[in-house]
Amino acid sequence: AQSVSQHNHHVILSEAASLELGCNYSYGGTVNLFWYVQYPGQHLQLLLKYFSGDPLVKGIKGFEAEFIKSKFSFNLRKPSVQWSDTAEYFCAVRTFSGGYNKLIFGAGTRLAVHP
Amino acid sequence: NAGVTQTPKFQVLKTGQSMTLQCAQDMNHEYMSWYRQDPGMGLRLIHYSVGAGITDQGEVPNGYNVSRSTTEDFPLRLLSAAPSQTSVYFCASSLIPGGTYEQYFGPGTRLTVT
């Protein structure tokens, strides 16, 4: 079955620390990859997405992610986090099987950034 | 554009009660879907629709019904609420189900079933 794994459920960092959140998926075909962010009390917002081309994609708020096809991974990075990055982060993978393109979410990583 | 709107924001139900969660979008999106979000499980797809009059089941459809009579609205009905349906429900929409689309999410409905 197709699945998305996010390795860290909770991450605690100090401001200015670097961030890397892992995401691996299990699906051998074509995929589109997404990172969504959910700030406390808010709905999900798209952070960045990868469809094709340069495997290093840049998103909003200084985030970037790298697609490594051989490792089935799409890790999210930010060189220097801020307190305002405290949120829950979801990796999602869209697969193309059958007539319906399904968006599968990982379990999420809760990030807390301390000043 | 209001985007994707959901009502109510919060709801408490007793076991066995029924209710409808409302979802509307004003972006003329064909594709709409309902997810539930549970701690440690991410978002799981309940039902989706690729256009007015067309709906299908997602990963966890049991206990829920949907219909799509207009492009704008996609209500989710709980037929007989159970404590296992305590969750946060998100509605989402996108322009087309395939292609390079982006899903837009509503603010969510927090449902508690006692």
Q: How far apart are CA A3 and CA A10, in angstroms?
A: 19
Q: Is the pLDDT confidence value at B100 over 80?
A: no
* Residue A2 binned pLDDT confidence (cut-offs 50, 70, 90): confident
* Residue A28 binned pLDDT confidence (cut-offs 50, 70, 90): confident
What's the confidence (pLDDT) of residue A83?
Answer: 96
Q: How far apart are CA A54 and CA B62, in angstroms?
A: 41
What's the confidence (pLDDT) of residue A27?
Answer: 82
Q: Is the pLDDT confidence value at A36 over 80?
A: yes
Mean pLDDT of chain A: 90
What's the confidence (pLDDT) of residue A35?
Answer: 96
For residue A55, give both structure tokens.
């495997």
Phi and psi at residue B93, in whole multiples of 5°? -145, 155
What's the confidence (pLDDT) of residue A18?
Answer: 97
Q: Per DSSP, what are the bridge partners of residue B87? A: B111
CB contact under 8 A, B103 and A46: yes
Residue A22: CA atoms inside 13 Å, Cβ hemisphere, count?
A: 9
What's the confidence (pLDDT) of residue B40?
Answer: 80
Q: How far apart are CA B63 and CA B46, in angstroms?
A: 10
CB contact under 8 A, A44 and B45: no
Q: How far apart are CA B76 and CA B11, in angstroms?
A: 14
With an 8 Å Cβ cutoff, the interface of chain B facing chain A consists of 33, 35, 40-45, 48, 50, 56, 58, 90, 92, 97-98, 100, 102-103, 105-108
Nearest CA in chain B to A43: B107
Mutate to test the interface with B, among A44, A49, A110 (most CBs of B within 10 A): A44
Which residues does A63 contact at the CB level (< 8 Å), separation at least 6? A35, A47, A48, A76, A77, A78
Q: Is the pLDDT confidence value at A102 over 80?
A: no
Average pLDDT over residues B81-96: 92
Mutate to test the interface with A, among B31, B43, B90 (most CBs of A within 10 A): B43
Is residue B108 within 8 Å of B43, Cβ to Cβ? no
